[in-house]
Structure 1
Amino acid sequence: MLRIHFSQEDLGRIRLVGTWGPLAETFFSLMTVQHHSAPALFGGWSQRVRRESAVLSHPASALFRDSVLDLFTVTGPTASLEEGLEALLHARPDHLQDEIIGASESHAHYSGKKTLWGGSAWGDPAHDRADRQELVDFLGAFHHHAVAPYWPLIRSRLHAEQTSHARVLAEGGGEAMLAGLPPGFRWRSPVLEIGRGPVTGDVKLQGRGLTLVPSAFCQTRPITYSSATDDQAPILLFIPLIRTASDAAGMLGTSASGSLKALENLLGRTRARTLDSVGQGPCTTSQLASRICASLATASEQATILRQAGLITTTRHGSAVHHTLTRLGTNLLNGTPEDSP
């Protein structure tokens, strides 16, 4: 069990982020697919990934056999896979080296092995440009098989999760939001407990605050991440999004790209893309127009049609309007027409 200790200052410095980006999900998916005790609900996805991808034989995969390697604070949150890989490619060598050494020492402690690198065949990507490019290529190839087909649905659900927690935070404050976290998290003021069993660690925020990020593939032992270059940056904690068989079926059961194609056949390409764009998170009409690369008039027209169909709701905030998916819209976008329990 991991315990996180809050002060009143920390409760006021809770931040919610919709996603750390597709590269972060790729890191977690590599951990999950190699983890011997990963939940059974990932079984079908794991079998497909292992069948379709040979990249797990690459020595770099050994880096991700545990949850301790922190490339999350190395890259920071990124909007696209390309942006994340570029950030990793140009990360400070000393920052990357510190994370690799720390992960290697932790791995040796738990496994009895001296290295994470699968032998001496691979060099040190913290210093070797060619090895770092090889790591980037490996991550890109694995993402293509493990995350990319499901990313549209996952992204929609991630932002919906953030919106739900943010509403509780705004209305009830930090303690109410922490008390409403999913099973596995227990708020016993002023301590957040994660997991069960004996205490494995105590994290005292000491005014740094906490950044909470939902993640589809985060399933390994609870752990927090902190920046090696900024000792005042908030501590980073990921919240597992896939918690039931229904969650797994909705996000990993079928290819999301195929679901979106079927939705395009039903609604038309522009309308389907508009619905998918609103699913990325609440947005104004101008933001929606930017997401679908259309004029303001077209975005407004498509939003009106989707609202009349009960797929989105529109609320006014001052001079702007904000569009949000309804439950029906979410279920249609996720390919789960019936409400989950």
Structure 2
Amino acid sequence: MLRIHFSDADLARTRIATAPDPVWEIAASLHRLQSRKGRWAYAEWYRTARQQLRDKGLERVLRNALLPLYPRAAYFPDFLTPAHAVGDLAMGMESIVATPPQRVLDEVAILDRTVGAPTWAGRLTRLESRKEFVGMLRAYHDAVVAPYEEQTQARIEAERAVRCRGLLDGGVEGMLSGLGPMLRWRSPVLEVSYPKQAADRDLYLGGRGLTLVPSYFNWGEPVAFADPQLPPVLWYSMLHEPSPLDAPHEDAADRPLITLLGRARAVALRAASTGATTTEMARAAGVSTSSASRHATALRDARLITTVRHGPAVLHTLTPAGASLLRAGLGKSR
């Protein structure tokens, strides 16, 4: 467990990032490729990512260079996700290139002690090697992360809207209290679930505040820098929870909601619980975009969802009535 200790000054300086962190999404997506957990939530991405990597000749780069430096383990080097470049791909790439050689050596040594580092990793102390590595990261990002930027941004906007509701109701502490099952607010400490193989530790913010970064590709435990001297950042999953509507063993619990709305419309309502575009609703329900649009219209006319435009897309979220119906239909109490 990670325990993050807040002072009053830290609460005043805590914020939620306004945009996805593309450098972190590279890391998190590489972790997705190393795990079967949560595959239902990224089903389309898995299909397209593997094909894109093959088409662009990046399979060897993935296998020999990227996956070894980004293991899905208790540690990977902090310099690969620069703290001061959250939300800016170009700045993040420049920061990796500008990493001091000694820091590269130190963090590669930690990786080696933790899970083992590739034999070539020490060459990243050389400027030209870091530039070459950043080129690989850019190519990977363009192939499998960039195509999902729009829906990632839409999900973050929905997440920010939910957290703002908590902020209005209970201040920063109210916002921290609603971050999900992996994070528990026990004033003045935010308890963060960490991988079982990671040791318990404490992070004292010391007036620096905390930047919360919702992540599209992160699944499960939130992630913070291993080095407590770095600016405090916490990347966390936007609650991709297995949908009970898609779980065969829970059909009995789902039947009332499906009977009332029909399966496609029930799935669309469930998708709206974390914010979804019409395309995401269609994908979740296995229907065409035009059909999903009709289902969304019916749900909106019934005042179960609300719809706002976000750039060229629209984002659907639950109304209080829709949330109550979803909880009742799935047999959940408040």
Give TM class, smaller chain.
Answer: 0.5 to 0.7
Contact persistence 1:69–1:102 (CA under 8 A) = no
Q: 1:335 to 1:88 in 2, by over 3 A?
A: same
Structure 2: distance between partners of 1:335 and 1:172: 25
The reply to whether residue 136 of structure 1 matches residue 142 of structure 2 is no
Contact persistence 2:40–2:242 (CA under 8 A) = yes
1:241 is matched with which residue: 226, 230, 238?
Answer: 238
The reply to whether residue 328 of structure 1 matches residue 307 of structure 2 is yes
What is the deviation of 1:181? Answer: 0.9
Structure 1: distance between partners of 2:83 and 2:236: 19
Q: 1:57 to 1:253 in 2, by over 3 A?
A: farther
Equivalent in the alignment of 2:108: 104
Equivalent in the alignment of 2:67: 61
Contact persistence 2:185–2:191 (CA under 8 A) = yes
2:190 is matched with which residue: 176, 186, 192?
Answer: 192
Q: 1:178 to 1:170 in 2, by over 3 A?
A: same
The one-character-per-residue Cα deviations of 1:224-258 (angstroms, maximum 9, x if unpaired) are 22778xx5x741111211522466995897999xx
Equivalent in the alignment of 1:15: 15
Equivalent in the alignment of 1:277: none
What is the deviation of 1:107? Answer: 3.0
Equivalent in the alignment of 1:164: 162
Question: Runs of at least 4 residues of structure 1 off by over 4 A?
Answer: 196-199, 245-256, 334-341
Q: Counterpart of 1:173 in 2: which secondary structure? A: helix
Structure 2: distance between partners of 1:253 and 1:52: 20
TM-score normalized with structure 2 length: 0.64
Contact persistence 1:213–1:238 (CA under 8 A) = yes
Contact persistence 2:105–2:122 (CA under 8 A) = no
Structure 1 unmatched ranges of 5 or more = 257-261, 267-309, 311-325
Q: Counterpart of 1:209 in 2: which secondary structure? A: coil
Letter of the aligned partner of 1:154 in structure 2? T
Structure 1: distance between partners of 2:178 and 2:205: 20
Q: 1:108 to 1:42 in 2, by over 3 A?
A: farther
Contact persistence 1:250–1:335 (CA under 8 A) = yes
Q: 1:327 to 1:106 in 2, by over 3 A?
A: farther
Letter of the aligned partner of 1:65 in structure 2? P
What is the deviation of 1:58? Answer: 3.3
Equivalent in the alignment of 2:85: 76
The residue correspondences of 1:240-279 to structure 2 (distance < 5 A) are: 240-245=237-242
Cα RMSD for the two superposed structures: 3.9
Contact persistence 2:105–2:125 (CA under 8 A) = no
The reply to whether residue 93 of structure 1 matches residue 100 of structure 2 is yes
Structure 1: distance between partners of 2:90 and 2:136: 13
Instruction: Using the aligned pairs only, state the percent identity.
Output: 30
Contact persistence 2:308–2:316 (CA under 8 A) = no
Letter of the aligned partner of 1:203 in structure 2? L
Of 202-211 and 38-47, the range deviating more from structure 2: 38-47
Contact persistence 2:20–2:156 (CA under 8 A) = no
State the aligned residue count: 262
Equivalent in the alignment of 1:124: 123
What is the deviation of 1:73? Answer: 2.7
The one-character-per-residue Cα deviations of 1:148-201 (angstroms, maximum 9, x if unpaired) are 121111112112312332343255222111111122111112221122779622
Contact persistence 1:328–1:337 (CA under 8 A) = yes
Q: Counterpart of 2:151 in 1: which secondary structure? A: helix
The reply to whether residue 28 of structure 1 matches residue 28 of structure 2 is yes
Structure 1: distance between partners of 2:94 and 2:114: 31
What is the deviation of 1:62? Answer: 1.2
The one-character-per-residue Cα deviations of 1:281-329 (angstroms, maximum 9, x if unpaired) are xxxxxxxxxxxxxxxxxxxxxxxxxxxxx9xxxxxxxxxxxxxxx9323
Q: 1:82 to 1:222 in 2, by over 3 A?
A: closer
Q: Counterpart of 1:328 in 2: which secondary structure? A: strand
Equivalent in the alignment of 1:4: 4
Structure 2 unmatched ranges of 5 or more = 54-58, 244-270, 284-288, 294-299, 327-334
Structure 2: distance between partners of 1:334 and 1:23: 26
Q: Counterpart of 1:327 in 2: which secondary structure? A: strand
Letter of the aligned partner of 1:329 in structure 2? V
Equivalent in the alignment of 1:302: none
Letter of the aligned partner of 2:167 in structure 1? L
Structure 1: distance between partners of 2:9 and 2:153: 31
Of 162-171 and 234-243, the range deviating more from structure 2: 162-171
Q: Counterpart of 2:207 in 1: which secondary structure? A: coil
Letter of the aligned partner of 1:162 in structure 2? R
Q: 1:183 to 1:2 in 2, by over 3 A?
A: same
